[in-house]
Amino acid sequence: MTTPATAPVYNRIALIGLGLIASSMYWAIQRSGLAGEVTGYARSQATRDTARRIGLTDRVCDSAAEAVAGADLVVLAVPVGAMASVASEIAPHLAQGATVTDVGSVKRDVINSVGPLLPESVHFIPGHPLAGTEHSGPESGFATLFDNRWCLLVPVEGTDPKATAQLRALWEGLGANVEEMDADHHDLVLAVTSHTPHLIAYTMVGVADDLGRVTDGEVIKYSAAGFRDFTRIAASDPTMWRDVFLTNKDATLEILGRFTEELFALQRAIRTGDGDHLFDYFTRTRAIRRGIIEAGQDTDAPDFGRSVSKEKI
C-alpha cells in the first residue's frame, strides 16, 4: 500500500465521469491523502445517485461546470468520443492555471479535438493509465487498481514542466509508474498492446456465437482458459471501445494488417505440416509472456478466472 502523502498534491481535483478509472482514482487519492477535496460529475442522474450513495468523491455535482469551479486539476474520464463536448462545456469555468488531463486510450485524437477548446490560461497534459478491468460504473473502482501499473503522460508542446511534474507526482502517489511519450508513438504502442487484442477478442467471441455447429450451451459449458479470457476482454465497455477504434483507426489498421500477415503464415505452416515453424514461433512468443511477468505486470499463477474479489484485495 502506498505511504500517505505528507501534503496534498492538489487542493481540489474534479473528476468528470465516474466510472472504473475515476472511482479508482478517488479511492486511491483517499488512501494516500493526495487532494484536499475531490468533486465529481457524471452525465447520468443514476450514476450521480449511486456515487452519492457509496460516498464516491467528497462532493457530487449536478453539472460539469459546478464540478470544475475552483479545481486545480480536472480529469476527463469519459469516452474519447465525448471528450470534445465535455471540454467545450467546462472551458469557460476552468480556473486560471488549472491542469486538465484525461485518461483516454487514444492520445492524438484527444489532443486535436480537446486542445483547441481549452483556454490558454490552463495546462493541458493528456494521460493514459494502463490499468483496468472488464467492469465499468461507479461501483467498479478500487484503490489498488494503479499499483505498479504504468501511466503514460503526453504533454503538449509548450507545457510548463512544473505542471507535468505535479501531475506525475499525483500518479506516482496513486501507485503508478509514470513515463512520458509522444502522442503518435503512444497510439501505435497501444494498438499493439491493447486495441488490436481487444478487437481480436471481440472477433473470436463473435465467431463462437456464429458457429452453428457449436451451441451456446457448449460454448459456455466447455470454455477453456483461453476462451474465458477472450470473453473477459470482450465484456469491456462497448461505448469506450467503439470510440477507441474510430479515433485510433490508422494505428489499429496497421497492426491488423501485420496480424493478418502473421496469421496467414501460421495457416500455411499448419496446412503444410511445418512443425519447426510453429515451434519456433511459439517459443518466441512464450518469451514475451515471461518478460511481462518479470516486469511485474502479471503473475504466472493460473488464475484465469481473475475474480473481482481477488483484484480488490
pLDDT tens digit sequence for 99-147: 999 999 999 999 999 999 999 999 999 999 998 777 889 999 999 999 9
Q: Is residue 5 part of a domain?
A: no
Query: Are residues 141 and 242 in contact, defined by beta-carbon separation less than 8 angstroms?
Result: no
Nearest-10 crossing angle of helices 20-32, 161-173: 90
The residue-averaged pLDDT of 264-281 equals 90
- Residue 312 is predicted with a pLDDT of 37
Residues 144 and 39 in one domain: yes
Task: Count structural domains, the chain.
Answer: 2
- The answer to whether residues 81 and 107 belong to one domain is yes
Same domain, 96 and 194: no
Question: What does the buried/exposed string (b/e) look like for 76-91 if buried means 16 or more CB atoms within 10 Å of the residue's CB?
Answer: bbbbbbbbbebbeebb
Identify whether residues 177 and 193 lie together within a single domain: no
Q: Which of 160, 181, 202 is the last residue in one of the domains? A: 181
pLDDT at 98 over 50: yes
Specify whether 153 is located in the same domain as 189. no
The confidence score (pLDDT) of residue 307 equals 47
One domain for residues 200 and 270 = yes
Q: Are residues 224 and 104 in the same domain?
A: no
What the block records as the C-alpha cell of 85 is 463536448
CA–CA–CA angle 103, 105, 106 (5° rounding): 110
Question: 42-45: which pairs have CB atoms within 8 A and are 24 or more residues apart?
Answer: 42/17, 42/18, 42/138, 43/17, 43/78
Reply yes or no on whether the pLDDT at 69 is more than 90: yes
Q: Are 32 and 176 in the same domain? A: yes
- Is 108 part of a structural domain of the chain? yes
Residue 50 belongs to a domain with what CATH number?
3.40.50.720
The structure's pTM equals 0.78
Let me know if residue 150 belongs to a domain: yes
Query: Is position 147 within any domain?
Result: yes
Same structural domain, 172 and 40: yes
Determine, yes or no, domain membership for 3: no
Q: Percent of the chain having pLDDT more than 70? A: 85
User: Which of 131, 153, 181 represents a domain boundary (last residue)?
Assistant: 181
* Residue 229 pLDDT > 80: no
Please name the amino acid found at residue 1: M
Max Cα–Cα distance, the chain, nearest Å: 67
Nearest CA to 206 out of 234, 225, 233 is that of 234
Tell me what pLDDT residue 309 has. Answer: 40
Would the pLDDT of 254 be above 60? yes
Provide the residue range defining the domain that includes 104. 10-181
Clarify whether residues 129 and 195 are in a common domain.
no
Distant-in-sequence, close-in-space partners of 236: CB < 8 Å, separation ≥ 6: 132, 134, 136, 198
pLDDT of residue 239: 82
Determine the Cα–Cα distance for residues 187 and 275; give it in Å rounded to an integer: 35
